């Protein structure tokens, strides 16, 4: 604990003594949050909170004949998988924690969904990385296959394996239907929860933006090393830095894609904050992220060797 306080004090002193770098990093992180995360993640977070509220889901499934806990659970899991791959990280983790708190899924299913379905969104991959940074939008199909297919196969296999061992007693429970509140009350709560989550994400982006600004300002360190360190910390700034390297687009692609699969330490901290209060292991999540990043690196390296 003393070491943490000493490091925190050193960071504060360094930030105070270098106001220009601190301001630059904070501004970069704030811009990434305001113009990147807020418009792309906040609407999906509000929508997910609204759809997964007990009142709304209860009202929807009460209209279906013979609605059992198993059917309800399967649909919620499918929604978690689809949202985790399309809405963008860390919406997948947010939906998983919501399902856990509502006791729709158990801890093991929640861990599986967290490990495999909390990925960087297609809008970042296709819009920012391929189109804006690399100007290679034609690589979109193969990139989606490399990033998302292994994780999709992983979650399907793990869920099937776990559900085979699961007892059938829990699968046949009737759903407890909650009384539907006023829709505006549910929407208000969904908006408040969405803003609470997005503000936490913004705080991490600002802190890591400052850290990345200090790293990029270190003299006598090769640009490629600084770029890779920044990408390990915060993927948006790191992707931008890596695409500035004086190498071919294919080499930039091979360097950056595994880091996008990993997501960065900043998103790891954001995910850890979101799953707080749930019996979910951030170590298992980190392990799976590292495995998928290594798998992506291996595939793109083989492809690079073949092409060159």
Q: 263-274, pLDDT tens digit by residue?
A: 899 999 999 999
Mean of per-residue pLDDT scores for the chain: 84
Euclidean distance between CA atoms 294 and 287, whole angstroms: 11
- Would you tell me how many other CB atoms lie within 10 Å of the CB of residue 152? 17
pLDDT at 58: 65
| Chain position carrying tokens 């999906």 | 44
Q: pLDDT tens digits for 128-183?
A: 899 988 988 899 999 999 999 999 999 999 998 887 776 554 444 444 444 545 67
Give me the mean pLDDT over the 277-300 stretch: 92
Q: pLDDT tens digits for 16-71?
A: 778 888 888 889 889 988 888 888 888 888 888 887 777 776 666 666 555 555 67
Residue 123 has which token pair? 């809008």
Identify the burial level of 234 via C-beta atoms within 10 angstroms of its C-beta, where 0-12 means exposed, 13-18 middle and 19 or more buried: buried
Euclidean distance between CA atoms 31 and 133, whole angstroms: 17
Euclidean distance between CA atoms 52 and 41, whole angstroms: 16
Could you state, in order of their start, the residue ranges of all structural domains in the chain? 18-170+183-307
Question: Could you give the C-alpha distances from 278 to 69, 161, 180, 231, in angstroms and in order?
Answer: 21, 23, 26, 28
Q: Are 278 and 110 in contact (CB under 8 A)?
A: yes
Q: Shortest CA distance to 193 belongs to which of 36, 33, 35, 45?
A: 45
Residue 254 has which token pair? 């091979």
Q: Shortest CA distance to 258 belongs to which of 238, 284, 281, 285?
A: 238
Helix (H, G, I), strand (E, B) or coil at 67: coil
Share of the chain above pLDDT 70, in %: 87
Three-state DSSP string of 102-156: CCCCCHHHHHHHHHHCCCCCHHHHHHHHHHHHCCCHHHHHHHHHHHHHHHHHHHH
Q: Shortest CA distance to 263 belongs to which of 289, 285, 237?
A: 289
| Chain position carrying tokens 């699968």 | 171
């Amino acid at each position: 604990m003393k070491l943490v306080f000493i490091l925190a004090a050193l960071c504060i002193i360094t930030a105070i003594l270098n106001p220009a770098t601190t301001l630059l990093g904070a501004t970069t992180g704030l811009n990434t949050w305001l113009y990147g995360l807020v418009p792309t993640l906040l609407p999906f977070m509000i929508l997910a909170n609204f759809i997964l509220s007990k009142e709304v889901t209860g009202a929807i499934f009460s209209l279906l004949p013979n609605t059992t806990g198993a059917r309800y659970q399967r649909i919620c899991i499918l929604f978690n998988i689809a949202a985790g791959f399309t809405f963008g990280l860390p919406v997948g983790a947010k939906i998983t924690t919501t399902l856990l708190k509502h006791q729709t899924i158990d801890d093991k299913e929640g861990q599986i969904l967290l490990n495999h379905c909390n990925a960087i969104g297609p809008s970042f991959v296709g819009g920012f990385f391929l189109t804006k940074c690399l100007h290679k939008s034609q690589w979109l199909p193969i990139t989606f296959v490399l990033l998302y297919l292994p994780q999709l196969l992983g979650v399907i296999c793990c869920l099937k394996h776990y559900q085979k061992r699961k007892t059938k007693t829990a699968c046949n429970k009737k759903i407890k239907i909650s009384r539907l509140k006023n829709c505006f009350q549910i929407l208000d709560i969904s908006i408040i929860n969405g803003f609470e989550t997005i503000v936490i994400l913004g705080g991490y982006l600002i802190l890591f933006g400052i850290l990345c600004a200090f790293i990029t300002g270190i003299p006598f360190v090769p640009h490629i090393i600084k770029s890779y360190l920044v990408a390990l910390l915060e993927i948006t700034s790191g992707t931008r830095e890596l695409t500035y390297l004086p190498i071919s687009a294919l080499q930039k692609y091979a360097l950056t894609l595994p880091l996008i699969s990993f997501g960065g330490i900043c998103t790891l901290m954001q995910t850890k904050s979101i799953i707080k209060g749930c019996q979910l292991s951030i170590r298992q999540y980190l392990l799976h992220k590292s495995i998928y990043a290594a798998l992506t690196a291996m595939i793109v390296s083989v492809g690079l060797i073949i092409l060159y």
